Amino acid sequence: MCLHQVAIIDGRKVLGKKSRMNKDIQKGNDNNLKRQLSPTHVWAIAFGCVIGWGSFINPGKKFLPNSGVAGTAIAMVLGALVMVIIAFSYAYMVPKYPKAGGEFTFTKMCFGKNMAFVCGWFLVVAYLTNVPMNSTAIGLIVDGLDGSADILKWGFHYSIAGFEIYMGEMVLAMAILLLFGWLNIIGVKKAGIVQTILSGLLILCVFTLFVAALFSSKAKGINMSPIWGFDKSSAMAANATTANINEFAHSGTAGILSAILATFAIAPWAYVGFDAIPQAAEEFNFSFKKVSFIMIIAIVFGCFVYTSNNTVAAMALENWPDRVMAGEWVLLVAAEELLGTFGKVLIGVGVSCAVLSGIMGFYLASSRLMYSMARDGYLPAWFGYVDEKHGTPRNAMIFCMIVSLSGPILGREALGWFVDMSAIGASIGYFFTCASTLVTAKRDGDAKPSLKVVATIGVIFSALFMILQLIPIPGLNGVHFCKESYIMLLAWSAIGLVFYLKERKNFASKD
């Protein structure tokens, strides 16, 4: 298939070979994205992206052992504050360039086309990896809820990194990916309504569990020890139990700092999604003045969910270190301890809403970004096709669906690798947005001094996130990428280089 197709994009012709498909693309691209999203829809998209599977599963998998209750709470609050600071740069830039593409568009206008490709390419991985990441968690959710029934463990199966992957798990996850991809294709308003329902149910479930823990005699502050987490690998090697877990607890300045930074370093992944708002800027049916408020509310709600779930999981279980080392779903066990079967149902509904809203939201963000890059010649014109009937970037969505089907195939061990890839991609997007704010504010002279200060802080923290993720720092354990994540990063960079060399003439010739 020829990569350079004939299409009308923003009123300009993209040259290439003639074909029937080209005529279809040309016809489709005469339609713009439709303005159908209300403020509530946009908040639901942002919040649904921020809160995915990780807020329910990571308390036992990552947060409690790596950072404990105190370290996670501090890291999440600090991360939320940094994201709010960065959000002000987005609020300034979106009205300046109200087009799908967000950070990619900002970078192109301020730092040129080559840097725009770098920003856009790594933003794609930040958004797109979250879709298979959430789908991979579906099997884990069912396993935790069905007890010993193992209803998905049937058919062909194989093992990756010690985890069995069954046909039943793949079929369910793939069916959900296809369904929600189709919902995104048939209309953004329908997707927005579904997203609003899912996000509302999600926050209701988390708040109910929080209130239950607040008033239950089973939830005790003493259960939170060790509050800074512990060295899980060493504790397991020594066959430690809750009784002697304090021997392996993080302590001292270096230990506590490592505990906080281990979670703070992935804050870009934890909060990625509030920045999905600019990707849908062409589909807003409201004033851009509301953007900053919507972003901040999504971030604050996200911080509450992460911190609440992690704290409740520890407070409700006096032996949570044993459960963590046994690989149990700690939050689910804690909810059942507090509320019995209703607690289990509560977690089931909440995490299902989190996973589904994450899939829905990141499908939207990924497809709009790829559509914008194709429209400007950075990706093949095929990605820039807008469905004539529904006004959505259909081909970009189809591509996202195909890539996302890799999640169920790779299995749950890939979750950590996807987290790292999303974190670095988001950090790059934040960096360019804040830097673009500084350039635009200086050029236009319409920004308050306070905006320049927060944009500068955003640049510094975005760079700090990238350093923590990519560079091993002596004395700080569990902060930087794992080996598999470095391999995935190199592979993604190599694919990006191929696209860059192939499409460079296209976007370099654009006005």
CATH number at residue 141: 1.20.1740.10
Task: Domain count for the chain, please give it.
Answer: 1
Beta strands in 332-488 (DSSP E): none
Q: Which residue shows structure tokens 């999504």?
A: 298
- Asked if residue 30 is part of any domain, the answer here is no
Helical spans, DSSP H, in 186-222: 188-215
Residue 3 located in a structural domain: no
pTM of the model: 0.80
- Phi-psi group of 159: left, alpha or beta (phi > 0 → left; psi -120 to 50 → alpha; rest → beta): beta
147 part of a folded domain: yes
In a domain, 403, yes or no: yes
Query: Does any domain span residue 5?
Result: no
The neighbouring-strand residues paired with 13 are 8
The per-residue pLDDT string of the chain (511 residues; one tens digit each, 9 = 90 and over) reads: 333 333 433 433 443 443 444 444 444 444 466 666 778 888 888 888 888 878 898 898 889 999 999 999 999 999 999 989 998 898 888 888 877 678 888 999 899 889 999 999 988 888 888 888 788 777 777 877 777 777 888 888 888 766 788 888 889 989 999 988 888 888 666 777 888 898 899 999 999 999 999 998 888 989 999 999 999 989 999 999 999 999 999 999 888 998 998 898 888 878 877 877 777 666 776 677 788 888 899 999 999 999 999 999 999 998 999 999 988 889 999 999 999 989 998 998 998 898 888 888 888 888 888 888 888 888 888 888 888 877 788 899 999 999 888 878 877 666 667 777 788 888 899 999 999 999 999 988 887 889 999 999 999 999 988 888 787 776 665 566 677 788 888 888 998 898 888 888 877 666 5
How is residue 209 written in tokens? 């569990």
The whole-angstrom separation of Cα 85 and Cα 89 is 7
Distance of CA 226 to the CA centre of its chain: 29
Residue 13 lies in a domain: no
Report the alpha-carbon distance of residue 387 to residue 380 in Å, rounded.
16
**430 lies in some domain:** yes
Amino acid at 315: M
Contact call for residues 396 and 371 (beta carbons, < 8 A): yes
Residue 15 lies in a domain: no
- Domain carrying residue 69: 35-508
What is the rounded distance in angstroms from the CA atom of residue 177 to the CA atom of residue 418? 17
